[in-house]
Structure 1
Amino acid sequence: MLRMEIALFLVMVFVASIYFSAEKHYTQLHRTFSLLLVTVLVHLVLDGVTVYTVNHLETVPRFLNDAVHRLFLGSMVLVIYLFYQYIAILVQEETGKPRRLDRAARIFLAVAELGNFLLPISYTVTPEGNYSSGLYMLVPYCGVAFYLLLCAGLLTVNWRQINQKKKIVIGAALCIEFTVCTLQGLHHTWLISGMGITLMTLSFYLTLENPDILRAELTEQKMSMLYLKSQVNPHFLYNTLDTIRIQAQLNGDKTVADLLMRLVDFFRLSVKVDRQMVDLDDELELLEAYLELMCCRYPELRCEYDIDPDLGGAQVPNFILQPIVENSLLHGLKNKGYRGEVRISAQKTAAGMELQVADTGSGFAEGKKAAIDEMLLHYAKQPPKLTGRSIGILNVQKRIKLLCGREYGLWYTENPTGGVTAHLLLPLQEELK
């Protein structure tokens, strides 16, 4: 029996070494899975030690056996609690619903751990092997059952809103653990709880947390960004060049030189895709080049900036502001003959850093905001788009979620005085690795 615990531990060490040596991710989901991996490793060590001590009651001191047993079963409840947390976060990201059961889950964890360390332990000796028994064993059994039922409830209630692959993974993991727990309950001497926990962890790792899968998603988003940049609206290029030609006729060389310089700056900066994250100052430099050209083309268009000077070095996903501003011009100010204002701001918030792009345009057409809200909320379910008006904002949303974390992202609000504001919530860090 001890050989199985050693084998399971070595498997999880291998998984953990791959996971932690891969590219780091700063999301609540990935942080929870990282904590889960560490806790599972500790639990498997305690599992192996307990298997030895419980089968050597005559040689191992009682206090040592009891201490190891309490730590082992306490870690088991903690592991299943972390599984619940992971699944709850996953469901929240899929549905957008708040996690309402977290407080009850934490209270139950505290009560279970308290009972684990206070209730007396007894052991049953059989020819097939020894195991702990009595009232004390209600703690881990009730704890595991409670959290598995919470997970099953989350899956059942939100079944239609969860991505097909994710609900299959969650369902399979729960079936594995329910099966192992049933077998353990029927055959107390089997001591296979570690097997169920390892299989649950592997199911999530292989399908949702595998670094190769995450790298593939990053590659997909980078290719999508490359395509987006390669599809700079040709009308913008042609009309801008026409503006330069007209200016050459009406003005001197300085105006032409300035316009050409800004055009060159825009294209020079827009093709820099070697880095996923750039300084906010670099992103604003590209945006200023774009807006100066647009303001020259549309003299009644005004641009204002309100940027916290401390945020210049903050890291943001590359090429996220220009598509948002272009969207404001084409779908808001175009209907007003490009007469109005675009205001770009960047400020610190309690949650990190918020960028805003506000316009005084015509606002959303009837039903349009609801459609955009739905698309941005369920961004992961949207197929990659290479055409259409929403490619820019969908691309921005996907890259923010993937590079910064699913708690960050893009959303829109309507301004009381007209027009709309795009909000981009980002983590406030000097560098994301």
Structure 2
Amino acid sequence: MNRMLLITLLLVLTASLLLNVYLWQRFSNSPQSNPRSNPHSNPHSNKNALNQNLAAQNDDAISPNGSRSEEAYKRSGSNSIDGARNIDDRNMDARNTNGASIKGMRSLSELNALLQSGDMAALAASLNRQLKISPLSEPLLLLEAELIRQTKPLPTALLNYYDLADLPLSNTALVEINEKIQTLYQQAQQQLSSSHQWELVAKLNEPLFQRVPDNKTYTLNLATAYAHQLKATLMEDVLAALPFNDRDAQAIRKIAFEQQVAATDSNTTDEPQLQDSLLEDDNTVRVKLERIGNSYHVNAQALNQSASMILDTGASTTAISSNLYARLGKMRNLTFIGIFTIQTASGSVEAPLVRIPEFRFAGYTFNNVSAIVLPEEALPDADGLLGMNILGEFDFSILPQEDVLVLDKRSF
């Protein structure tokens, strides 16, 4: 018994000794235990290596323009390249729109200053450059939309706002965009229809009807414009979007019928008899005309400015020269409605449409008159053209032998 116990103890001691020898040999061969094989075990060597590593990272991390390079993001391990780009894009967007500028970029306040000063070319160039970097920057997109509104035809500006409404923008921006669409459209539609500018009403509504064909407002307003222009086929093409027995559609068809009857009566009226009846009427007004070349000029007054206007019965809209526009104080005294494509004697031009609060002619005062602003070269010898949105308020005739315009105010 004692002998067996002794043998067991010897075997345990032997196993323990062998295990200790094995562990000692493994530890001795490890690189961490050998200073010569591992320079990092030397405190001075480790410090030097760390300093060299940091210096290398700093050299790569700062680019010549002061921004972190992609290589630095690769080495840092704290962000992926895509993540770094996203962060940099957001920072760039903030710098572009809120102040600290990247070389060649302008802050939002600087861009607004360009808009206010009327430097549209510089503003367009800056916006084009900065939107390439931040294509979904809401301040930049809204500023570009305002630039388009002030430099492009109003229908184009409205379509641009509809395009913006399709982008993944914030609810605040989308509300602002929709309010812009409603405000600009309603202001133009009301001004043009109240002054019977049916050709321009059609130009306003045609592209909107094509873009949003299920919008009943655009449908009805476009059909109404065609009805007043006696374009029955186009009117019916538009009204085809509505049920035939729609009450609003039937009311427009009635307008077209009445316009056709009025046009027929006008064509059968004997002009000399009309002149005689006007001359015998107590309400008749005779206006002296001044013949200059092949044109008749009449005197009028826009706000507090006297104006020599060419009598133009072929112009649907009254026009003023850019010189008279400047004398009227531009936007301080006039309301900018939008830019429209207008047919002139020299071809079509894109011109601003404005609202003149008060216009006097032949002893009558007209409020909120629509007027196209034409360049000075288009009106070298006059302050504007007196169009049918004024003359259409009268039954009128010209007595060429006397150089007299005879007017009789219509009662609508």
TM-score (norm: length of structure 2): 0.26
- Structure in which a larger fraction of residues adopt helix: 1
Instruction: Select the structure with the greater relative contact order (CA < 8 A; seq sep ≥ 6).
Output: 1
TM-score (norm: length of structure 1): 0.25
